[in-house]
Structure 1
Amino acid sequence: MTTFDTEIDSIGVVADDAARLLAAYEAGSSFFFSAPHSVLLARGVAATVPKTHCAREELPRRVSDFLYSATEFGRRNPIVVGAVPFGGSLPAHLVMPEEVVRAAPLNVVVPQAPRSRAPDCAVRSVPTPAEYERSVSRVLRRMADGELSKVVLARSLELTAGGPVDVRGMLRNLALADPASYTFAVDLPRRGEDGTRDSFGPQPRLQRTFLGASPELLVSRRGTQVRSNPMAGSRPRSADPVEDRRLAAELSTSDKDHREHAAVVDAVVQALRPFCGNLGVPAPSVVGTGAMWHLATEITGELRDPATSSLELADALHPTPAVCGTPVQRAREVIAETEPFERGYYAGMVGWCDAAGDGEWVVAIRCADIEADSLRLFAGAGILAGSDPADELAESAAKFRTALSAMGLDQVV
């Protein structure tokens, strides 16, 4: 195992504590979570939360009971880490690690973006670009009939490399390319396995990884302080500085994008209101990632009941219209009818929750599901009245570039 005093100056970074945690990550036995304010590395698995293929509203209680049981084994403020899927076809995968190490946020100096040699990959688009545009057109007709007001339609890229994927290298590149994003890596059971164990003790090593660099905080809880940062409405970034500024300005004044964003903010506020008082909802701002400009609103509040956990808040919020649509249930149905693949953990949530209820959960976007030599990437676009199928296809292609750039495959889409 890589030790925490390993120097990684060879990739052009300052070897601070956070960078050492990044270097210490090992696929199959670690959970990594980098936020703008801190870095968390969890290693080993003491136990897996059992019976997580349950009604969604039961999950926070099951996790709370699990953490309480862990204290009976003498653990002080134990935590769970992991991922919750978009829908109900898969169980949540949440584990209590053997060891948790934290550090201040990444303090990196990257003279140029770290690059790996681009692997030879076979690429399959599901659906094809033409099929995706036709799906957008069909959804727009349903909107015209009044069925719903927004649907987030996703597409997938299936890549097969010539050998095992360099998961650690991808994670490093994602984290160093944009330390302000939420970079994550979660070990998952192999497809066809549920990965659950009902007792504490040695757990199997997992060989599947879900990783990404999400710009969107679903919710965090620190004591009684709650924060959420919904994003909706976006434009691809441009390498031309003048064009890039123009795209940001266009987004800031776009009626369509502001309507889309307002619907997401309203849904988040309504979900948080039963739990929080003193909700602060400022005007949206334009924020940038390496690939996209987004409209974002940082919502803050204070818990009415200190017993409410971060996972309970996340469960109440998930899925927001930013990854699903409005009304949510009808949008879910249209997604299931239209998308020719299972989302799995894409558009779900990734994060952690401790026995005190504190924690942080991000929306699982800009992500890849990796097993051996295969990767599945996901990207979606919000479809509203007035959407143009070609524009939505271009937006999804831009969102793929976050993960593709980490592999050196920028030109795939």
Structure 2
Amino acid sequence: MKTPGHDVAPQKLAAQLLRSYEAGSSFFFASPRRTLLAQGTFATVPHAGGTNSLEKLPERVAKVLADARQADHDIPIAVGAVPFDGRVPAQLVVPMTLQRAGPLVFDDTVAPSPGLPPRYTVQPVPEPSAYLDGVARALKLMESGPLRKVVLSRSLHLSATTPIDLQRLLYNLARRNPSGFTFAVDLPQRPSAAPGEGRRTLIGASPELLVSRNGMQVLANPLAGSAARSPDPIEDQARAAALLESPKDLHEHAVVIDAVAEAMRPFCKTLDVPAKPSLVSTQTMWHLSSRITGELSDPSITSLTLAVALHPTPAVCGYPTELAHAAIGHIEPFERGYYTGTVGWCDANGDGQWAVTIRCAEADEHSLRLFAGAGIVAGSKPEAELAETEAKFRTMLQAMGLGQTTGAQP
């Protein structure tokens, strides 16, 4: 395993890894406790073929890691991204080199890096009016059948005339979201892309941990139920208090927590599920949060095994899962790809950490596709759900130096 020199201070080491990120040849993942930079590709986890890339994915990863060790490769870890829909191949690799450090720490006395030059054309997909219609369609489905929740998302397509500086964008995301999971993952070229169209990168700052494993201890931290932050401190606290008492949001949260706990129980000999949610915040949002902890019943259960069993949770798909997935396919006018999948790592011991792939964009040299969604349940108001997606877009837009914009030319 590649390690930096011993003369590098721990705080400087994490910052050094962030500065060393290079789009097209790196995987970057920062959590509140550690920073990880993987570079190069020793081996790629093969695709399953067929219609479900997630089928036996943990077993395929375990074999690739075992083969790498047999070949005397001393980086026993797989990193990358798992898609929302199993029809899209998972993108996981064993890197050539790996560097780890503690959490990123930023000097508050130093002015933050300015945003990227705000010279983009912006196209909402779907248009806001079409999204409102989609929410109304989802609510009608709930009136006439067993569907209890569906998560509907939107996309913003931003195009620039100059190359996008992803290293700078990643820095801005990490600085603005120290309590979340900042990531950048190389993606394969689109099948329809012309030769030379270049790289794709999945980049973002997720507030939500899908699951982590450390030895026999596991943690899932689903978020469901949200409210936009306010710049006014009094109003901001009022919104937080209202979220904790909101019947609609508490119902939405309970649907998610029940499903996550049900998925985890077969793997755990003990499981602790909080009786009620707490609040967590980012710079742009308040969220209802529940930290579900457990002890595994079998040491062979890996973090990726748990991630695949949990994915997709009702926080990003809906409930019941199959009905929600079908509704998404009928209502959303685009393919999600890796958005609302999971991003992270799993080592040969089974330990690892997987974040939910939200507050993110898919980027190439001159464009980004931003994504944001909202959970629709009985009692949802289309205009409120549209406003929630606008607030969630701010994580990426603010890191890019843009305000709240879905117009044609900032």
Task: Pick the TM interval, shorter chain.
Answer: over 0.9
1:102 matched to which residue of 2?
100
Q: Distance in 2 between matches of 1:117 and 1:65?
A: 41
Contact 2:390 2:404 in 1 (8 A): no
Q: Deviations over 1:305-329 (max 9, x none)?
A: 0011110000000000000000000
1:131 matched to which residue of 2?
130
Q: How many residues align?
A: 394
* 2:245 is aligned with 1:253: yes
* Local SS of the residue matching 2:154: strand
* 2:50 is aligned with 1:51: no
Contact 2:203 2:360 in 1 (8 A): yes
* 2:377 is aligned with 1:384: yes
**Structure 1 residues 355 and 46: alpha-carbon distance in aligned structure 2, compared to 1, 3 A threshold:** same
* Local SS of the residue matching 2:203: strand
Contact 1:53 1:88 in 2 (8 A): no
> Offset of 1:75 from its aligned partner?
2.4
2:303 matched to which residue of 1?
310
**Structure 1 residues 165 and 305: alpha-carbon distance in aligned structure 2, compared to 1, 3 A threshold:** same
RMSD (Å) for aligned C-alpha atoms: 1.9
For residues 367-382 of structure 1, the aligned pairs below 5 Å read 367-382=360-375
* 2:139 is aligned with 1:140: yes
Mark the runs of 5 or more structure 1 residues left unpaired by the alignment.
6-13, 195-203
1:240 matched to which residue of 2?
232
Q: Deviations over 1:62-87 (max 9, x none)?
A: 11111111111012361110001000
Q: Deviations over 1:178-227 (max 9, x none)?
A: 11110000011111179xxxxxxxxx997211010000000001111100
Q: Deviations over 1:255-302 (max 9, x none)?
A: 111111011111110000000122111231011001100000011101
AA aligned to 2:263 is A
Contact 1:224 1:306 in 2 (8 A): yes
Contact 2:284 2:394 in 1 (8 A): yes
Q: Distance in 2 between matches of 1:209 and 1:290?
A: 24
Contact 2:318 2:375 in 1 (8 A): yes
**Residues 69-78 or 293-302, more deviating:** 69-78
**Residues 137-146 or 338-347, more deviating:** 137-146
Q: Distance in 2 between matches of 1:4 and 1:74?
A: 21
1:190 matched to which residue of 2?
189
1:293 matched to which residue of 2?
286
AA aligned to 2:360 is C
Contact 2:11 2:104 in 1 (8 A): no
Runs of 4+ that moved beyond 4 A = none
* Local SS of the residue matching 2:404: helix
Identity fraction in percent: 55
Q: Distance in 1 between matches of 2:219 and 2:12?
A: 27
**Structure 1 residues 240 and 84: alpha-carbon distance in aligned structure 2, compared to 1, 3 A threshold:** same
Contact 2:211 2:353 in 1 (8 A): yes
Q: Distance in 1 between matches of 2:237 and 2:161?
A: 39
2:90 matched to which residue of 1?
92
Q: Distance in 1 between matches of 2:132 and 2:197?
A: 41
Q: Distance in 2 between matches of 1:32 and 1:277?
A: 33
Contact 1:369 1:375 in 2 (8 A): yes
Contact 1:30 1:186 in 2 (8 A): yes
1:198 matched to which residue of 2?
none
Question: Structure 2 residue aligned with 1:73, among 71, 74, 82?
Answer: 71
> Offset of 1:147 from its aligned partner?
3.8
Contact 1:292 1:399 in 2 (8 A): yes
Q: Distance in 1 between matches of 2:69 and 2:142?
A: 51
> Offset of 1:119 from its aligned partner?
2.6
1:330 matched to which residue of 2?
323
1:158 matched to which residue of 2?
157
Q: Distance in 1 between matches of 2:40 and 2:192?
A: 19
Q: Deviations over 1:365-397 (max 9, x none)?
A: 000000110110000000011100000000000
Contact 2:218 2:293 in 1 (8 A): yes
1:273 matched to which residue of 2?
265
Q: Distance in 2 between matches of 1:53 and 1:166?
A: 34
- TM-score (ref. length: structure 2): 0.93
Q: Distance in 1 between matches of 2:297 and 2:16?
A: 38
2:387 matched to which residue of 1?
394
Q: Distance in 2 between matches of 1:24 and 1:52?
A: 33
Mark the runs of 5 or more structure 2 residues left unpaired by the alignment.
none
**Residues 109-118 or 230-239, more deviating:** 109-118
**Structure 1 residues 53 and 164: alpha-carbon distance in aligned structure 2, compared to 1, 3 A threshold:** farther
Q: Distance in 2 between matches of 1:208 and 1:117?
A: 18
Contact 2:115 2:398 in 1 (8 A): no
* Local SS of the residue matching 1:69: helix
1:210 matched to which residue of 2?
202
Contact 1:143 1:385 in 2 (8 A): yes
Contact 2:343 2:354 in 1 (8 A): yes
